[in-house]
Chain A
Amino acid sequence: MVELTQEIIQQLVNGISLGSIYALIALGYTMVYGIIKLINFAHGDIYMIGAFTGFFAITILNLPFLPALFVAMVVAALLGVIIERLAYRPLRNSTRIAALITAIGVSFLIQNIALLAWKPDPRAFPDVFPFRSYQVWGIYLDNRQLVILGVALLLMVILHYVVHYTRIGRAMRAVALDDEAARLMGIDVDRVISITFAIGSALAAAAGVLVGIYYNRIDPMMGVMPGLKAFVAAVLGGIGVIPGAMLGGLVMGVAEVMVVAILESTWKDAVAFAILIIILLVKPAGLLGRQTREKV
């Protein structure tokens, strides 16, 4: 019995580490959706660019972990703003399907540029934190998991503070609720949208660097599967709802780890889509979503 409990807690710990990465990516999907009702399918690729930027910052610029993380976040934020400006803003008043298809196109574009520039072969992410494992009551925790949890938690606390207690956060919520009324308050909606893309992209980049540290490998196609899973996490939590993305990410991470532990690892990607189907059937608005929202 004790052993089973330990095993469950162990898997929870692993699941929460993975889930906090999904949560960081899911936040970008949900914030962008909340504000312009667009599923930014290029978001997973921004996460990949973040991982590569972190990689180069560490290997070429010889930066330590935190400055490298910061550089990756800044570069991804700029990329997010540029993508919005060039690809999505001109389509602001066209049909949503046009913007959605454009997002998929941007995703392919980034992937293929990355494939050309960096070759498809995986690269070994540098060992920033030499592996060290701790054991507490029979449960193993390693220093990388602690870094992931620490960074993810810190970023989410900062995000919560920004969204709820700052001027720009208040403006972001206002635009998400009613952009026309927000304009009447003197809010520059275009600027708020840019800032939302910047924040979401920076969080995805942080996730990319953390994944590099966790799995020790990155490649140009690494954004595809986590991008989709984080999208499912955002839908699971209730798309457009920020705490929903955090919860959805954690649930996805735990579910994936549990499925691997109970069944086998080949099922780990299937579980994400099983969750998507179930949530769309049972509670389409998501766990923390309220009103029924339109189909995507």
Chain B
Amino acid sequence: MLKVGQLHVYYGGIHALKGISFQVREREIVTLIGANGAGKTTTLKAISGLLKGANGSIRYMGKEISSVPAHSIVKQGLSQVPEGRRVFGDMTVAENLALGAYHRRDADAIQTDMEWVYELFPRLLERRQQMAGTLSGGEQQMLAIGRGLMSHPRLLLLDEPSMGLAPLLVKEIFEIVKQINATGVTILLVEQNAHMALSVADTAYVMETGRIVLSGPAKEVAANSEVRAAYLGG
């Protein structure tokens, strides 16, 4: 479904991605793990089109998308939930969700998706008229994911959904990620919380300073002794 080949990104003098290659198959949960600064977010931004000027190929559904603008990529069913939530703070929960469906015209299907999002996150329903900026961190993460789902994606990119959340909430979010995947949405998950990420993913890639250093089925990667030492606390 998604095939990244020999992707290089230079960030003003810094060689942030040094020719990474990986792929995401339909209906999988794929995770990219690695330390801060390994290039995980850069990879997602290059895929979603926020970062231009990357060298290499990004093929989605058989089409090269590396030169397609970000707003058109969303229309093709590839949606990114950005790091740090980035909800529109001065707008209500309902308006944020409506923006997620900005490019769609199918009012009935939008309504159905909205109901589904409220079902996944009942707290958003309670707070739908509240300003997004007044929500707690966990609620904002739910809103960011819900907003991403409102574009009716086939491939959902999640950037650090566990960031800054209490352990219980992290579990809840990952439960929901699994539920979303079960409805047929393919997921590419970037995480620093390697433990949680490896427990839900099918396939995992480990990144270190702009390179993929290890890949394989998530279970095998989780059992790898170097990964255990570096990311899973022994």
List the interface of chain A (C-beta within 8 A of B).
Answer: 167, 170-171, 173-174, 177-178, 180-189
CB distance from B195 to the nearest CB of A (A): 27
Q: How far is the CA of A186 from the CA of B148 in the complex (A)?
A: 11
Asked whether any CB of chain A lies closer than 8 Å to the CB of B86, the reply is yes
**Residue contact A184 to B82, C-beta cutoff 8 Å:** yes
Which of B17-25, B88-96, B206-214, B218-226 lies on the face that meets chain A? B88-96
Beyond known contacts A185-B74, A185-B99: 10 more, CB 8 A cutoff:
A170-B102, A173-B91, A174-B91, A177-B88, A180-B82, A181-B86, A182-B99, A184-B50, A184-B79, A187-B102
Asked whether any CB of chain A lies closer than 8 Å to the CB of B70, the reply is yes
Q: How far is the CA of A200 from the CA of B199 in the complex (A)?
A: 52
Residues of B within 8 A of A188 (CB): 69, 71
Q: How far is the CA of A189 from the CA of B69 in the complex (A)?
A: 10
Of the listed residues A167, A171, A183, A187, the one surrounded by the most CB atoms of chain B closer than 10 A to its CB is A183
**Residue contact A183 to B71, C-beta cutoff 8 Å:** yes
**Residue contact A186 to B82, C-beta cutoff 8 Å:** no
Binary A-proximity of B131-150 (CB < 8 A = 1, otherwise 0): 00000000000000001100
Asked whether any CB of chain A lies closer than 8 Å to the CB of B75, the reply is yes
**Residue contact B50 to A183, C-beta cutoff 8 Å:** yes
Asked whether any CB of chain A lies closer than 8 Å to the CB of B66, the reply is no
Q: Which of A170, A173, A181, A189 interacts with B82 by CB under 8 Å? A: A181
Q: Which of B50, B71, B79, B148 interacts with A187 by CB under 8 Å? A: B71
Residues of A within 8 A of B163 (CB): none
Closest to A164 in B: B95
**Residue contact A173 to B98, C-beta cutoff 8 Å:** no
Range of interface residues on B (Cβ < 8 Å): 20 to 34
**Residue contact B50 to A170, C-beta cutoff 8 Å:** no
Asked whether any CB of chain A lies closer than 8 Å to the CB of B103, the reply is yes
Closest to B90 in A: A177
**Residue contact B91 to A177, C-beta cutoff 8 Å:** yes
Whether A170 contacts B98 in the complex (CB less than 8 A), given A177-B91, A184-B48, comes out as yes
Q: How far is the CA of A187 from the CA of B86 in the complex (A)?
A: 15
Asked whether any CB of chain A lies closer than 8 Å to the CB of B151, the reply is yes
CB distance from B27 to the nearest CB of A (A): 23
Closest to A176 in B: B90
**Residue contact A184 to B70, C-beta cutoff 8 Å:** yes
**Residue contact B86 to A173, C-beta cutoff 8 Å:** no
What are 17 of the A-B contact pairs (CB < 8 Å)?
Answer: A170-B95, A171-B102, A174-B91, A174-B99, A177-B88, A177-B89, A178-B86, A180-B86, A181-B87, A182-B99, A183-B70, A184-B70, A184-B79, A185-B147, A186-B103, A187-B99, A189-B71
Q: How far is the CA of A171 from the CA of B50 in the complex (A)?
A: 17
Binary A-proximity of B47-71 (CB < 8 A = 1, otherwise 0): 0111000000000000000000111
Q: Which of B95-141 contact A (CB under 8 A)?
A: 95, 98-100, 102-103
**Residue contact A185 to B91, C-beta cutoff 8 Å:** no
CB distance from A288 to the nearest CB of B (A): 13
Whether A167 contacts B102 in the complex (CB less than 8 A), given A184-B80, A184-B82, comes out as yes
Closest to B91 in A: A173
Of the listed residues A177, A180, A181, A189, the one surrounded by the most CB atoms of chain B closer than 10 A to its CB is A181
**Residue contact B89 to A170, C-beta cutoff 8 Å:** no
Q: How far is the CA of A173 from the CA of B131 in the complex (A)?
A: 13
Closest to B132 in A: A177
**Residue contact B86 to A186, C-beta cutoff 8 Å:** no
Q: How far is the CA of A181 from the CA of B144 in the complex (A)?
A: 10
**Residue contact A170 to B99, C-beta cutoff 8 Å:** yes
Q: How far is the CA of A170 from the CA of B99 in the complex (A)?
A: 7
Residues of A within 8 A of B88 (CB): 173-174, 177-178, 181
Residues of A within 8 A of B91 (CB): 170, 173-174, 177
**Residue contact B102 to A185, C-beta cutoff 8 Å:** yes
CB distance from A149 to the nearest CB of B (A): 30
Of the listed residues A174, A185, A187, the one surrounded by the most CB atoms of chain B closer than 10 A to its CB is A185
**Residue contact A186 to B74, C-beta cutoff 8 Å:** yes
Give 5 nearest A-B pairs by CB, closest first.
A186-B103, A186-B74, A181-B86, A183-B70, A185-B102
